[in-house]
């Protein structure tokens, strides 16, 4: 309890005769009531200013001293205050008839107790006075709270007029912002719907491409084996035509995987200026005389972190789209620009980017066509003139690389596609060429082919046997592990990644517990799904593959040539 609280809860006693004051304090103290004794009425008035819950006065005090100051204090109390007074009287006291005492008894909140009285009656009366005073304190607190609220409301009322004027202006501005935000939200919702639609289509196309790659592996492998078994030129020409068709199918699946962001990319630091210059030389020769090809390359352009092979396909796709949009000729501009973090489009993650733009002066796109431009298989070209995968492939490569694509187009004004690629920190470099040269006899090595697709497994076995390897085969992971438990003659596993029950990665982990030194070449139609799970040092061969790529992967894994261990793709 604070000093202020102690003062306001005490009882002030004025009893000048004998031991009345100390005895009263002792009786009240036994009941836990704080008491302060005042020597006279002046001292009482001073103590009242400091605070009190009740006053106990004997008649003798009112006889001996002037009560006017006390009467003035009682009259000056605040509206909430009606301090309880307890006056101890006796029969025939000399205060009877005195005007000031009569006023005191009529103006004050007085309880008269006639002496002699018991201690119980005294304590009970004092406690009642204290309860009454506490209720007065509660009223005071409420009045103070109401006064503060009134002050706040008065202040608010004073400010209301200015606030209304300011608010009216603010509402007008907010209305303008709301109109703009609604338009922006509609654009964002359209973008979200487009992204969800592309994601759904991407998941579907990824699954289709994965299964199609398995089929193409068997088709291309059997065609290659058939070419090796015939010397008739007419038959070989037919097989070459079938090979070209299968290769077109392989490119189609690569575009599907790129769109769905399931293609396994090999990003490296690439000089986009050099890449554009190399591509533009080819475009000068292939675009025709009616189309002028120009390059606007930023001096000191940053290197971009991207797969160079996929980036070449991006440029070619965009250039061919521009050419097709300019049937009567026009201008195709390839440009590069550094885009700092503060200037990047809002949909891109924070960071620096290198922007590659391809702009044409062709027919342009309507709003409806532009909204669907990145959908796979959507095309406005005639049947047989395009697959509708060009822009979807561009979108997939850019997004999977950590960047993005924007498209600006107007009917009759041409189209500009801007591809944003993350800035690379390392200087541009190149990969060492593969040199899969056999330096020892293939018969020294035994290979276990594990694939759940019989046609793919058969092609792989025949190809490896033609290369001179000893081969074994298993249709699934458990069968392969059972074979390895009873044989130590296997040097290399050619393992399909996606198999039912136990996938290739799980199978290889268990196989290495049996044979820690065994070499591995993983084969998959969708490398990106498993690239985070690959074991260190192993090779990933992307389906579909030609016999030469299979031989290259196997000989590299076995250490028959100086080639580095890295992912191999159908090139």
What is the secondary structure of 170-224 as a DSSP string?
A: HHHHHHHHHHHHHHHHHHHHHHHHHHHHHHHHHHHHHHHHHHHHHHHHHHHHHHH
Q: Per-residue pLDDT for 413 more than 60?
A: yes
Share of the chain above pLDDT 70, in %: 77
**pLDDT surpasses 50 at 383:** no
pLDDT over 90 percentage in the chain: 19
Give the count of domains, the chain: 3
pLDDT band at 59 (very low <50, low <70, confident <90, very high): confident
List the CATH number of the domain containing 478. Answer: 3.40.50.2300
**Which structural domain range is residue 478 located in?**
442-558
Cβ(337)–Cβ(296) under 8 Å?
A: no
User: If you average pLDDT over residues 329-357, what whole number do you get?
Assistant: 88
pLDDT at 549 over 50: yes
With a CB cutoff of 8 Å and minimum separation 6, the contacts of 509 are: 535
Assigned domain for 570 exists = no
Pair (479, 340) in one structural domain = no
pLDDT over 50 at 433, yes or no: no
Closest CA to 333 of 362, 285, 296: 296
Strands (E) in 34-178, as ranges, are 35-37, 54-58, 84-89, 109-114
CA atoms within 13 A on the CB side of 337: 14
- For the stretch 242-269, pLDDT in tens is 766 666 666 556 655 555 555 556 678 8
- Tell me which of 102, 117, 132 is where a domain ends: 117
Instruction: Please tell me the predicted confidence (pLDDT) of residue 568.
Output: 39
Same domain, 414 and 270: yes
Q: Which of 80-94, 146-160, 391-405, 549-563 has the lowest mean pLDDT?
A: 549-563
Final residue of a domain: which of 394, 422, 450? 422
pLDDT of residue 253: 62
Once rounded to an integer, what is the mean pLDDT over residues 405-419?
89
Same domain for 270 and 417: yes
pLDDT of amino acid 312: 81
By DSSP bridging, strand 446-450 and strand 414-422 are unpaired
Report residue 376's pLDDT band, with 50, 70 and 90 as the boundaries.
low
337 dihedral zone (left: phi>0; alpha: psi -120 to 50; beta): beta
Let me know: does 471 contact 446? Beta carbons within 8 Å.
Answer: yes
pLDDT recorded at residue 254: 62
Q: Write down the pLDDT at residue 98.
A: 53
* Residue 437 counted as domain residue: no
Least confident of 154-168, 286-300, 387-401, 406-420: 387-401
Could you tell me which of 267, 332, 272, 279 has the C-alpha nearest to residue 300?
Answer: 272
Higher pLDDT, 103 or 4: 4
Residue 37, pLDDT above cutoff 60: yes
Structural domain contains residue 197 = no
User: Quick check: 564 pLDDT over 80?
Assistant: no
- For residues 332 and 465, membership in a common domain is answered with no
As a whole number, mean pLDDT of residues 144-172 equals: 85
Instruction: Say what the pLDDT of residue 430 is.
Output: 45
Tell me which H or E stretch contains 474.
Answer: strand 470-474
H or E element: which one contains 357?
strand 353-360
Q: Are residues 485 and 397 in the same domain?
A: no
Angle at the Cα of 369 from the Cα atoms of 363 and 374, rounded to 5 degrees: 110
pLDDT value, residue 456: 85
pLDDT at 381 over 60: no
Average pLDDT for residues 304-315, to the nearest whole number? 83
Q: pLDDT band at residue 521, thresholds of 50, 70 and 90?
A: very high
Residue 99 confidence (pLDDT) above 50: no
Element housing 283 (H / E): helix 272-286
Same domain, 291 and 373: yes
Element (DSSP H or E) covering residue 396: helix 390-400
pLDDT for 555 beyond 60? yes
Residue 315, domain member (yes or no): yes
Predicted local confidence at residue 364, as pLDDT:
87
Answer whether residue 76 is part of any domain: yes
Higher pLDDT, 64 or 51: 51
**What mean pLDDT comes out for the span 396-421?**
87
As a whole number of Å, the CA-based R_g of the chain is: 48
pLDDT in the model for residue 257: 58
Residue 131, pLDDT score: 92
Q: What is the pLDDT of residue 442?
A: 52
Q: Averaged over 381-410, what is the pLDDT? A: 72
Residue with more model confidence, 294 or 532 = 294
pLDDT-derived band at 448 (thresholds 50, 70, 90) equals very high
Q: What is the pLDDT of residues 160-197, one digit of tens each?
A: 888 888 888 888 888 888 888 888 888 777 766 766 66
Cα four-point dihedral sign 205, 392, 349, 526? positive
Residue 471 lies in a domain: yes
Is 334 within the bounds of a domain? yes
Judge whether residue 465 has pLDDT over 60: yes
Question: What is the arithmetic mean of pLDDT over 222-227?
Answer: 72
89 beta partners:
114
Q: Is the peptide bond before 544 cis (omega within 30 degrees of 0)?
A: yes
| Residues 398, 271 within the same domain | yes
CB atoms inside a 10 Å sphere around CB 328: 8
Task: Please identify, among 66, 99, 117, the residue that sits at the C-terminal boundary of a domain.
Answer: 117
**Does residue 570 register a pLDDT over 70?**
no
Same domain, 459 and 346: no
Residues 445 and 469 sit within 8 Å (Cβ to Cβ):
yes
pLDDT at 407 exceeding the cut of 80: yes
Calpha distance 242→251 (Å, rounded)? 14
Q: Is residue 411 domain-shared with residue 506, that is, in the same domain?
A: no
- Do the beta carbons of residue 96 and residue 72 sit within 8 Å? no
The answer as to whether 279 is a domain residue is yes
Confidence of residue 217 (pLDDT cuts 50, 70, 90): confident
Residues 6+ apart with CB under 8 A from 11: 28, 33, 34, 35, 36, 52, 53, 54, 55, 56, 126, 129, 130
Residue pair 538/565 in contact by the 8 Å Cβ criterion: yes
Encode pLDDT of 106-138 as tens digits.
667 888 888 888 889 999 999 999 999 999 989
Whether residue 467 is found in the same domain as residue 501: yes
Strands 109-114 and 268-270: unpaired
CATH number at residue 350: 3.30.565.10
| pLDDT band at residue 20 under the 50/70/90 scheme | confident
DSSP 8-state assignment for residue 531:
G
**CB-based burial label for 43 (10 Å; 0-12, 13-18, 19+):** middle
Contact predicate 507/484, CB 8 Å: no
- Together in a domain, 415 and 468: no
| 466 and 406 belong to one structural domain | no
pLDDT in tens, 473-518: 999 999 999 999 988 789 999 999 888 889 888 999 999 998 888 9
pLDDT at 292: 87
């Amino acid at each position: 309890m604070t000093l202020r609280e102690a003062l306001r809860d005490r009882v002030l006693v004025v009893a000048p005769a004998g031991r009345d004051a100390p005895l009263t304090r002792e009786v009240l103290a036994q009941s836990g009531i704080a008491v302060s004794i005042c020597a006279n009425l002046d001292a009482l008035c001073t103590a009242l200013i400091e605070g009190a819950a009740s006053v106990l006065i004997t008649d003798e005090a009112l006889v001996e001293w002037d009560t006017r100051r006390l009467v003035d204090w009682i009259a000056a109390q605040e509206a909430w205050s009606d301090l309880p007074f307890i006056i101890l009287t006796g029969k025939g006291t000399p205060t009877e008839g005195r005007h000031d005492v009569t006023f005191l008894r009529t103006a004050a909140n007085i309880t008269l107790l006639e002496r002699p009285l018991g201690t119980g009656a005294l304590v009970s009366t004092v406690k009642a006075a204290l309860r009454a005073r506490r209720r007065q304190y509660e009223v005071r607190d409420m009045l103070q709270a109401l006064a503060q609220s009134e002050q706040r409301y008065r202040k608010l009322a004073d400010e209301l007029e200015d606030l209304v004027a300011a608010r009216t202006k603010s509402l007008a501005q907010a209305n303008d912002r709301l109109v703009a935000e609604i338009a922006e939200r509609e654009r964002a919702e359209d973008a979200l719907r487009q992204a969800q639609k592309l994601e759904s289509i991407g998941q579907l196309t990824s699954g289709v491409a994965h299964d199609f790659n398995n089929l193409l592996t068997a088709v291309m492998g059997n065609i290659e084996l058939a070419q090796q078994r015939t010397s008739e030129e007419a038959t070989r020409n037919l097989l070459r035509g079938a090979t070209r068709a299968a290769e077109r199918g392989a490119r189609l699946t690569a575009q599907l995987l790129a769109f769905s962001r399931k293609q396994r990319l090999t990003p490296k630091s690439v000089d986009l200026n050099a890449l554009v210059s190399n591509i533009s030389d080819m475009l000068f020769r292939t675009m025709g005389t009616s189309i002028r090809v120009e390059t606007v390359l930023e001096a000191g352009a940053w290197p971009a972190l991207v797969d160079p092979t996929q980036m070449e396909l991006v440029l070619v796709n965009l250039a061919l789209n521009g050419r097709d949009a300019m049937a009567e000729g026009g201008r195709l501009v390839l440009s590069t620009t550094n885009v700092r973090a503060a200037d990047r489009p809002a949909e891109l993650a924070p960071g620096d980017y290198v922007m590659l733009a391809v702009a044409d002066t062709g027919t342009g796109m309507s709003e409806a066509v532009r909204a669907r431009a990145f959908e796979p298989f959507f095309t406005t070209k005639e049947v047989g003139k395009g697959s509708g995968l060009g822009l979807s492939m561009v979108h997939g490569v850019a997004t999977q690389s950590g960047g993005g694509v924007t498209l600006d187009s107007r009917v009759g004004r041409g189209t500009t596609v801007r591809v944003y690629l993350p800035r690379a920190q390392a200087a541009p470099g190149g990969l060492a060429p593969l040199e899969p040269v056999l330096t020892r006899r293939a018969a020294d090595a035994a290979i276990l082919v594990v694939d759940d697709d019989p046609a793919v497994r058969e092609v792989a076995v025949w190809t490896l046997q033609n290369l001179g390897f000893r081969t074994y085969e298993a249709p699934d992971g458990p069968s392969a592990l059972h074979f390895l438990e009873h044989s130590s003659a296997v040097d290399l596993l050619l393992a399909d990644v996606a198999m039912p029950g136990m996938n290739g990665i799980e199978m290889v982990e268990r196989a290495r517990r049996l044979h820690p030194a065994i070499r591995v070449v993983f084969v998959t139609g969708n490398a990106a799904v498993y690239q985070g799970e690959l074991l260190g040092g192993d090779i990933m061969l992307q389906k579909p593959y030609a016999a030469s790529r299979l031989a290259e992967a196997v000989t590299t894994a076995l250490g028959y040539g100086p080639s580095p261990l890295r992912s191999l793709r159908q090139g």
